[in-house]
Amino acid sequence: IYITGSNAKLLSGELATYIGGRYVEFVIYPFSFAEFLELYHTIAPSDSIQQCFQKYLLAGGMPYLANLRYEEEPSRQYLTDLFNSVQLKDIVKRNKIRDIDLLERIIAYMTANVGTVFSASSLAKFFKNEQRTVAAETILNYVRYCCDAYLFYQVKRQDLQGKQILASNEKYYIADHGIREAVFGGNMKDINLILENIVYMELLRRGYVVTVGRAGEKEIDFVCEKRGEKLYVQVTYLLASEDTVKREFGAYDGIQDNFPKYVVSLDEFDMSRNGIKHRNIRDFLLMKEWN
């Protein structure tokens, strides 16, 4: 969020420095699918929930798009302008970045690979192969600037057996997947990543602290905690084969507690089993409570 004063606009991470920690922060996220659905139905009341969700996959949740009636070209232009403004004002100027080309390359890489394990050292090696020497520390600084500007959110990885936060290989999700489609494209091609991004942002909206869980060799997309309660969520595109079913439901094999465990996908039929709940992603996003 921004706090606007007489002389400068502050990102919330800077508040403690300027006003000694005496503040209350309300984080405002882009619209959830439920909020999008309510607005979009005033524009296209005859569209089914499935059609609305297809629009949401491409348009995202920035509120101003409703004023543009979600028309494709004006919406794309608005989101592109918004992205350019964040990149220029909140990242480049605020942090006095000189190598703008490097920043753009890093942002493009992170945007294309939302929800995948990020390694600054691997990215540094990639740049080296392109005859460009970049220190991993520089890459991490640029990534931090992007997170400070709320363009991306970092998700740490947690060892569920050792009960410790792992120090490397975090994942990053973009604040609004509509920006990704407008600026870089490919949301439908990378729909598995976009579904994961949408679920992650919904978890944040509902006040969960989210990590990626590792249990032995298996990984759980989201381990969510709030006021002593836990929730586990696996996200996949379609449970189209028995191998996929075994992989997604089998991720919970090493988890012995009784907290709710979900597998979320675009499948229309309920495939719940062994106490693990399966939900269509639209239904999951519209549920009032996950229990």
Tokens of 172: 């990053």
Select from 154, 171, 193 the last residue of a domain: 154
Quick one: average pLDDT of 60-74? 97
Find out whether 232 and 261 touch, Cβ atoms under 8 Å: yes
Tokens of 27: 């984080």
Q: Is 106 within a domain? A: yes
Q: Is 237 within a domain? A: yes
Quick one: average pLDDT of 244-264? 95
Mean pLDDT rounded to a whole number for the chain = 91
Q: Is 263 within a domain? A: yes
Q: How crowded is the C-beta side of 188, counted as CA atoms within 13 Å?
A: 6
In order of 8, 16, 142, 148, the CA distances from 11 in angstroms are 10, 10, 16, 7
Q: What is the pLDDT of residues 112-146, one digit of tens each?
A: 999 999 999 999 999 999 889 999 999 999 999 99
In order of 222, 233, 255, 291, the CA distances from 228 in angstroms are 16, 17, 17, 14
The residue among 165, 140, 164 whose CA lies nearest residue 152 is 140
Find out whether 270 and 254 touch, Cβ atoms under 8 Å: no
Query: Which DSSP state fits 81?
Result: H
Q: Is 14 within a domain? A: no
Q: For residue 63, which amino acid is it?
A: P
Q: Is 39 within a domain? A: no
Select from 154, 177, 199 the last residue of a domain: 154
Euclidean distance between CA atoms 234 and 220, whole angstroms? 6
* 6 has pLDDT over 60: no
Find out whether 156 and 211 touch, Cβ atoms under 8 Å: yes
Q: Is 170 within a domain? A: no
Q: Is 133 within a domain? A: yes
147/76 same-domain check? yes
Range of the domain at 244: 209-286
Residue 161 CB neighbours (<10 A): 12
Number of domains forming the structure of the chain: 2
Q: Is 83 within a domain? A: yes
User: Tokens 């080296």 label which residue?
Assistant: 128
Q: What is the pLDDT of residue 166?
A: 65
* Positive or negative torsion for Cα 189, 191, 196, 198: positive
Question: Which range has the worst mean pLDDT, 8-22, 82-96, 203-217?
Answer: 8-22
Euclidean distance between CA atoms 57 and 92, whole angstroms? 29
Q: Which residue has the higher pLDDT, 1 or 151?
A: 151
Q: What is the pLDDT of residue 5?
A: 39
Q: What is the pLDDT of residues 137-180, one digit of tens each?
A: 999 999 999 999 999 999 999 988 766 776 677 999 999 999 99
* 89 has pLDDT over 60: yes
Euclidean distance between CA atoms 221 and 146, whole angstroms? 22
